[in-house]
C-alpha cells in the first residue's frame, strides 16, 4: 500500500487541481454560506498544523521519493506491457475476478487520491492565508477531480494478489465449530458416565451398561431374592433349599461402588469397543440355625439311609490273592455337611454335590492304597508260589500253594482273615507230622546179628531226628518269600541210612551174650575182638543194650568212678585208649583182665565199659569214627 500511495502521489504531483475562476470567486465572493463550517475548519487547520509540526519531514519525504518512484514506475510499465496474465498466472486464480478486483483498486485509489489532495489543499490554503490579510477566510476551495483512463490505471495500479486460502479459512471455521460441538458432546457423555457404568459392563453376569451402582446392586439383590441351592447326595434324589427357607438376603458391601470409582469417565468410548466382566463376592446373609435344621431334614441325613463304608481287603481270586476295593457307603457326617453347605451358600453357589465333597461322608479305614494291605496281598501271593520238597532217602514230601491255601482262613465274603497264630500252628503241625513219619530215634529196629540171630534193638541215642523248632522257622520264612526248593529237613540227629533199618552197612556190633565185637565197613568185617562187658551181678554195672555213636576218643586218659563225699573217687584207673559212646561207658584197654571173652563178665566184669586187650584197643582207636553206629545187644 505504501508503493501505491507513492505512485498516486507522484502521478498527481504538480497538477492544477484548482480552477482559476473558482479561486477568484472564492477569494472575492461572499463566504456567508461557509460561516457554519468555520469552527470545524479552524479545528482541522489546527490539526494539520500540529501534524506538520510533528512530522515536518513528510513533505520532504514525498518530494524525495516522488522522482525515484517515477523512475521505477516507468520500468514497471515496460515490464507489465510484456507480461501476460493467463489461467496459469499465480497473480489470479480466475480471470472473472479481474474486473471486480480492478474496480476495487480504482475505488481505493480514488479515495486515497482524494485524501491526498485534501491534505495538500489544506496546506496550500494555510500558506496562502498566512500571506493574506488577517481578515480573509481560511476555508478550503472546492476540489476538482481529474478523471483517469482505464489504461492509466492498468499502468499505475499494482495488482493485489488474491488470497488463496479463503476456502481453507471457511473450512477451518467449520471444523472449529464441529470440534467445539464434538468436545461439548464428549464432555456431556463423560459427565453422564461419571456415576454410571460403561456400555458393555457385566458384573456377576448381569448387564450393568449405563446403570448406577445403586441400580446394579438392586439388580443383584433381585437375583438374590430368587436364590436356591440344589443338594445332591449319595443314593438319594437331589433336594433344593430355597433362600426363603434360610432367610437369605443381599447386603451391600460397597464393592460395586468401588468398581465404578475405578472407572475413568473420559474412557467411555472403550465401552462400545470392548466388554468388561467382573465377578464380585455377593455379600449375603442367612440364618445359620435355619440352615442347620434344613441339613438335618435332608434325606441323606436320615438314619435309615446311613450305610457304613467297608474296608478294602485281600481275597483269593483263582490261584492268586487280590485286593477287593473299599466301598464308600452313605454314612453322612451331618456337621461336615453343614459346613460344606454354609461355605457354598456364602459363595452364592447354586448347587453342591455332597458325594464329591471331602470329609462329608464317613470313609473306609483301610483303602486299596493302604501299604499294609498291599504288603499282605504280596505276602500271601508268595504263599501260593512257595514249593518246598523234602527228601528222605528215596522218599519225598512236597508242600506247595495247594496245601498252604488250606492253612488260611476266609470269612463268608471271601475276605482273608489274617491269623498269624493259626498259620504258625499249621506250620508246626506239618513239621511234627514229618518227624513222626521219618524220625527213627527212640524206635526199635530188627537187627540181624553175625551169629545169625535177629534181635530187636531199641535206639534212643541214634537215628534220624528232625529239629522241629528250627525246621518250622525255616519253613515259615520260605513260605513267605515264595521259595521253591528241594531239601532235607533240619535234623538234630542223623543216622547212617534212610529207611526203617537206618544203621546201614558200616557199624560196630557188640554181642554181649557171646562177649565178642565186630567192626563192619560197607558190609564187611574189618576188625573183631573178644571183650569183657559189665558185671551182670550188679544191675548198675551191666552194660545196657541199644544203638549208640562215639562221642570222642582220647589217649591216654584216667577213668574215675563216682565221687565220694570226702572228695575221692570210687576208683581211678589209667588207660592208654579211651573211646566213650554211652555216657560213662566206652571202649578202652584193660591190662588188668586175665583174659577176654567167655563168661568172665559174669563174675569179673567191668563197671559197664567194654574192656579190650591193649593191642585190640589200639587198632580200634585208629579206625573208629564218631558217626559209626554202635549196636549193643544180648
Tell me if 207 sits within 8 A of 221, measured CB to CB. Answer: no
Q: What is the mean pLDDT of residues 433-459?
A: 95
Of all residues in the chain, the percent with pLDDT exceeding 70 is 74
Q: Tell me, yes or no, if the two domains 386-443+457-493 and 507-633 fold the same way.
A: no
Residue 583 has pLDDT above 60, yes or no: yes
Q: Could you tell me the CA-to-CA distances from 522 to 103, 349, 472, 547, 630 in Å, in that order?
A: 168, 97, 35, 18, 15
Q: How far apart are CA 240 and CA 244, in angstroms?
A: 12
Which CATH class name applies to 507-633? mainly beta
Residues above pLDDT 90, as percent of the chain: 54
* Cβ contact 338:292 at 8 Å: yes
For 72-116, the pLDDT digits (tens) are 444 444 444 444 434 444 443 444 444 454 555 545 555 555 565
Backbone angle region of 217, left / alpha / beta, with phi > 0 → left and psi within -120 to 50 → alpha: alpha
What is the reported pLDDT for 118?
A: 60
Confidence (pLDDT) at 253: 81
Domain 386-443+457-493 has CATH 3.40.50.10800: no
Q: What is the mean pLDDT of residues 167-172?
A: 82
State the Rg of the chain over Cα: 74
Nearest Cα residue to 489 out of 451, 417, 440: 440
Mean pLDDT of the chain: 81
Rounded distance, CA 619 to CA 612, Å? 10
Q: Which of 264-273, 360-369, 619-628 has the lowest mean pLDDT?
A: 264-273
Q: How confident is the model at residue 545 (pLDDT cuts 50, 70, 90)?
A: very high
Q: DSSP letter at 534?
A: B
Helix (H, G, I), strand (E, B) or coil at 313: strand
Each domain of the chain, given as residue ranges in start order, spans: 1-24+56-72+91-162, 194-365, 386-443+457-493, 507-633
Q: How confident is the model at residue 169 (pLDDT cuts 50, 70, 90)?
A: confident
Asked which of 188-192, 522-526, 575-579 is least confident by mean pLDDT, the reply is: 188-192
Give the model's confidence band at 124: pLDDT under 50 very low, under 70 low, under 90 confident, else very high.
Answer: low
Residue 155 has pLDDT above 80, yes or no: no
Average pLDDT over residues 619-627: 95
Q: Outline where 408-481 has alpha helix (H).
A: 420-438, 468-480
Dist. CA 519–CA 630, nearest whole Å: 9
Q: 588-602 in b/e burial notation, b at 16+ Cβ within 10 A?
A: bbbeebeebeeebbe
pLDDT at position 164, please? 55
d(C-alpha 146, C-alpha 164), whole Å: 35
Name the pTM for this structure: 0.52
Helix/strand/coil percent split, the chain, to 5: 45, 20, 35
Q: 601 is written with which cell numbers? A: 563178665
* Catalytic positions, written as ranges: 588, 609
Tell me how far apart the alpha carbons of residues 265 and 598 are, in angstroms, rounded to a whole number.
Answer: 142
- Give tens-digit pLDDT for 378-413: 988 988 899 999 999 999 999 998 899 889 998 888
- The pLDDT assigned to 96 comes to 43
Quick one: average pLDDT of 576-583?
97
The average pLDDT across 444-454 equals: 95
The whole-number average pLDDT for the span 172-195 is 89
Quick one: angle between helices 468-480 and 420-438, nearest 10?
130
pLDDT score, position 19: 41
Is the pLDDT at 29 greater than 80? The verdict is no
Q: Which of 143-147, 225-229, 317-321 has the lowest mean pLDDT?
A: 143-147
Sign of CA dihedral 587, 591, 597, 602: negative
Q: How far apart are CA 63 and CA 52, in angstroms?
A: 15
**Predicted local confidence at residue 43, as pLDDT:** 46
Averaged over 355-372, what is the pLDDT?
Answer: 92
Amino acid at each position: 500500500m505504501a508503493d501505491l500511495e507513492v505512485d498516486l502521489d507522484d502521478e498527481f504531483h504538480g497538477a492544477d487541481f484548482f480552477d482559476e475562476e473558482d479561486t477568484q470567486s472564492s477569494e472575492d465572493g461572499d463566504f456567508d454560506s461557509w460561516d457554519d463550517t468555520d469552527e470545524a475548519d479552524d479545528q482541522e487547520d489546527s490539526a494539520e498544523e500540529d501534524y506538520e509540526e510533528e512530522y515536518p519531514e513528510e513533505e520532504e519525504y514525498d518530494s524525495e521519493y516522488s522522482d525515484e518512484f517515477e523512475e521505477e514506475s516507468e520500468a514497471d510499465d515496460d515490464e507489465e506491457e510484456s507480461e501476460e496474465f493467463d489461467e496459469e498466472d499465480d497473480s489470479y486464480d480466475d480471470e472473472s475476478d479481474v474486473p471486480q478486483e480492478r474496480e476495487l483498486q480504482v475505488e481505493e485509489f480514488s479515495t486515497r487520491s482524494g485524501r491526498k489532495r485534501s491534505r495538500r489543499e489544506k496546506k496550500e490554503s494555510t500558506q496562502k492565508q498566512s500571506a493574506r490579510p488577517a481578515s480573509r477566510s481560511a476555508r478550503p476551495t472546492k476540489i476538482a477531480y481529474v478523471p483517469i483512463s482505464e489504461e492509466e490505471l492498468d499502468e499505475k495500479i499494482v495488482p493485489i494478489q488474491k488470497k488463496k486460502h479463503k476456502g481453507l479459512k471457511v473450512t477451518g471455521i467449520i471444523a472449529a465449530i464441529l470440534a467445539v460441538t464434538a468436545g461439548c458432546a464428549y464432555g456431556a457423555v463423560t459427565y453422564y458416565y461419571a456415576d454410571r457404568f460403561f456400555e458393555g459392563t457385566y458384573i456377576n453376569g448381569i448387564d450393568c451398561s449405563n446403570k448406577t451402582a445403586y441400580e446394579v446392586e438392586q439388580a443383584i439383590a433381585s437375583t438374590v431374592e430368587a436364590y436356591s441351592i440344589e443338594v445332591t447326595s449319595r443314593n438319594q434324589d437331589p433336594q433344593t433349599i430355597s433362600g426363603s427357607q434360610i432367610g437369605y438376603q443381599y447386603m451391600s458391601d460397597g464393592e460395586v461402588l468401588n468398581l465404578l470409582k475405578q472407572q475413568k469417565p473420559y474412557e467411555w468410548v472403550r465401552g462400545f469397543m470392548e466388554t468388561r466382566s467382573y465377578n464380585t463376592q455377593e455379600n449375603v446373609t442367612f440364618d445359620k440355625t435355619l440352615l442347620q435344621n434344613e441339613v438335618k431334614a435332608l434325606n441323606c441325613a436320615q438314619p435309615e439311609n446311613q450305610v457304613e463304608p467297608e474296608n478294602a481287603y485281600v481275597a483269593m481270586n483263582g490261584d492268586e490273592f487280590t485286593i477287593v476295593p473299599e466301598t464308600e457307603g452313605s454314612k453322612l457326617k451331618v456337621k461336615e455337611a453343614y459346613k460344606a453347605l454354609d461355605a457354598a451358600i456364602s459363595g452364592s453357589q447354586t448347587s453342591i454335590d455332597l458325594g464329591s465333597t471331602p470329609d462329608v461322608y464317613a470313609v473306609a479305614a483301610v483303602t486299596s492304597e493302604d501299604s499294609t494291605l498291599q504288603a499282605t496281598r504280596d505276602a500271601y501271593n508268595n504263599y501260593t508260589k512257595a514249593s518246598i520238597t523234602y527228601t528222605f532217602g528215596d522218599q519225598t514230601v512236597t508242600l506247595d500253594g495247594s496245601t498252604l491255601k488250606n492253612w488260611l482262613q476266609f470269612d463268608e465274603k471271601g475276605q482273608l482273615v489274617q491269623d498269624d497264630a493259626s498259620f504258625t500252628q499249621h506250620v508246626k503241625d506239618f513239621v511234627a507230622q514229618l518227624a513222626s513219619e521219618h524220625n527213627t530215634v527212640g524206635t526199635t529196629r530188627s537187627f540181624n546179628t553175625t551169629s545169625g540171630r535177629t534181635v530187636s534193638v531199641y535206639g534212643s541215642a541214634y537215628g534220624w531226628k528232625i529239629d522241629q523248632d528250627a525246621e518250622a522257622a525255616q519253613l515259615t520264612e520260605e513260605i513267605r518269600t515264595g521259595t521253591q526248593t528241594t531239601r532235607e529237613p533240619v535234623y538234630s540227629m542223623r543216622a547212617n541210612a534212610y529207611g526203617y533199618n537206618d544203621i546201614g552197612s558200616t557199624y560196630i556190633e557188640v554181642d554181649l551174650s557171646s562177649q565178642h565185637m565186630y567192626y563192619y565197613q560197607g558190609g564187611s568185617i574189618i576188625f573183631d575182638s573178644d571183650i569183657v562187658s559189665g558185671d551182670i551181678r550188679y544191675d548198675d554195672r551191666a552194660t545196657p543194650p541199644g544203638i549208640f555213636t562215639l562221642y570222642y576218643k582220647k589217649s591216654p586218659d584216667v577213668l574215675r568212678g563216682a565221687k565220694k563225699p570226702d572228695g575221692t573217687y570210687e576208683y581211678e584207673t589209667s588207660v592208654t585208649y579211651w573211646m566213650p559212646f554211652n555216657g560213662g561207658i566206652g571202649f578202652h584197654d584193660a591190662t588188668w583182665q586175665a583174659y577176654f571173652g567167655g563168661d568172665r563178665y559174669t563174675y569179673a566184669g567191668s563197671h559197664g565199659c567194654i574192656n579190650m586187650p591193649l593191642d585190640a584197643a589200639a587198632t580200634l582207636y585208629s579206625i573208629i569214627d564218631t558217626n559209626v553206629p554202635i549196636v549193643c545187644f544180648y
